Amino acid sequence: MSFFVARLGYGRTHVRSRHRRLHLVYCFLQRLMLPDPHHLPARAGECCVGAAVSLHVATQLRRPVPLVGGRLPSMLGAHVPEAAVDEDSDFACSKDDVWTDAHVIWEAQQEVFAIPVSEAVQGRSQDRFRFGVTPAICLHVAGTASVQRCGIETLVMSLLTFLRGVTPRHAESSRKRCSQGAASPKARYSSAAEASCLALEGGHMASFEVVEICAGAGGQALGLERAGFEHALAVELDQNACNTLRENRSEWKVAQGDVASEDTWKPADYEGVALLAGGVPCPPFTIAGKQLGATDERDLFAWAIELAGVVRPRALLLENVRGLSMPRFAGYRQHVLDRLASLGYVAFWQLLQASDFGVPQLRPRFVLVAMKPEDAPYFEWPEPAEHTPSVGEAVVDLMGSNGWRGADAWAKRASKIAPTIVGGSKKHGGADLGPTRAKRAWAEMGVDALGVADEAPLPGADFTGKPGPKLTCEMVARIQGWSDDYDWNFTGRKTTKYRQIGNAFPPPVAAAVGSSIMRAFKHVGVPQQRESVEHDPIYRVLRESDGFVTFNQLVRAVGRPIDAPEIERRISLLSRDFHIEVNEDKALPSYKLGAFRAFVGQEDHDRHELFMKYQARIS
């Protein structure tokens, strides 16, 4: 049997401290569980419940009433019987997911459950009913009875009014206290008593946490925050980027160091988090580089897929450069999809243009989203924005901020979308707006791309002989998507700031994708049947075979006429990411797929030695 409890008091004396008041809000809506009818009763010394209480509850459930204050004395000092738990009320999730989600309280019809759980959880639940805790006001729900939305909202608003003075930092610290003391890392989210703690941020109940790897300076982080996610952890290697994260969100937990090292963070501690997100290094896939893929020591994409098997998030979000979408990496992409399917996820790839989401820049990003089967049918890629400003529209106010009289004329000339901003790396010099082709595009818009200015042009600035003024870091940030709606401060000197901005995932794009994931979590819209997209049929045939695969078998797998040179070229591409055995005993060779070359967490992988050797140059 189950019922909702609204806690209106705490402690033996009147509420005096902030954290106790917060505890009141975080746990004010919980569904308490009584054991199965056939479950053994509590034995002596196990905090038994008297017969009078059991009779009282049974009587009340036959005839539900909104408030049973007159019958509460029998509950005073009562302990929860054996196997009684705090069960989370997220009906949309699977049975093993007890994520906190306040919205379902009035979106789902309540049911009666009786589920025995472990003694560790039982003990923490029992602590909440010891002597001295003020009486609970119970909303008993039986059968198909439902809690009226207006009643719950009235209670919520009353409590929020009472606690108006609570600051986000106090809310965060109290939320962390609620999650401490778990018997194991997994219990951080599987313990119903702990999962019921709801964080209060800006007047909203935040119940979707994200762990972000390779977080950079916060582009994706800010967008996901806008979409409704709360950061449980941000992991980043670069000290300057970590400083920027801490400068803007001092309450976030930021871990600096090698994301693949347990000296930096322990993934198992975050098992069951709502979202695992990140922008892993792009040099292994970029068209401007060697496209070494799995053999590049900086490649962490395959490792991030394996990480999902440890963290077991409800959804995975990874973004990278357009190069990963090229035919060169068809086998790599197919491996990612197959591995995610084996972990129980449905995955989608999509090439997104930042300019489709209000960012005045041609910045294609190849995005991977993977979700649990129960959420995947509700996921849809975000729709493009109605309007995207030009470079001139976006930064004309900044260009004229020091009184330069040519700002309006310059803005008319800069009436296009910018080329992709290149953040560069520690290996390559200072701030620069991109390669030669990009510099020509900037020059056509009246921008000098040979560096970044310290400030906007002064009133008498003359750019004769030059394409025009240089952009400042603030202007570059605006073009990257940090508008007034996405306020953010970057720490460090000019070149450091520029690299942080240029290497970021534009916040509006992250917000759009994050919002789509959030809608899928809440099962908004009509579910759609999604077909699996095959990226490399040759890889699939090789993977499914235990032995060598002949030329004719590969031709049949492709499904169209294909000659030997084309097969050899495709095998050559695969061999850059996988070990391939070739048998040339016959007229036409046959092939056998070997191990994946990428780093997926192996302790003896070359990646560890190379990382230590080149760590100072990695950005």
Supply the residues annotated as catalytic: 282
Q: Strands of 86-229 (E only): list them.
A: 86-87, 137-140, 199-201, 204-206, 209-213
Helix axis angle, 330-342 to 564-574, nearest 10°: 60
DSSP annotation of 45 reads T
* Spatial distance between the Cα atoms of 518 and 98, rounded to a whole number of angstroms: 17
* Spatial distance between the Cα atoms of 87 and 31, rounded to a whole number of angstroms: 6
Question: Are the C-beta atoms of residues 400 and 407 closer than 8 Å to each other?
Answer: yes
DSSP annotation of 233 reads E
Helix axis angle, 301-311 to 330-342, nearest 10°: 10
- Using the Cα atoms of residue 4, residue 6, residue 11 and residue 16 in order, give the sign of their dihedral: positive
* Spatial distance between the Cα atoms of 211 and 277, rounded to a whole number of angstroms: 6
Of 372, 339, 270, the C-alpha closest to 600 is 339
Alpha carbon 598 to its chain's center: 23
Helix (H, G, I), strand (E, B) or coil at 108: coil
Give the end-to-end CA distance of the chain in Å, rounded to a whole number: 55
The CA-atom distances, in angstroms, between 339 and each of 289, 347, 364, 461, 596 are: 26, 10, 25, 57, 12
Contact residues for 125 (Cβ-Cβ < 8 A; gap 6+): 32, 80, 84, 85, 86, 192, 193
Helices marked H in 429-471: 436-444
Place of tokens 């960012």: 359
Of 521, 555, 563, 513, the C-alpha closest to 538 is 555
Place of tokens 């495709």: 570
Contact residues for 75 (Cβ-Cβ < 8 A; gap 6+): 53, 56, 135, 136
Place of tokens 């017969």: 51
Contact residues for 11 (Cβ-Cβ < 8 A; gap 6+): 20, 132, 133
The type of residue at 228 is G
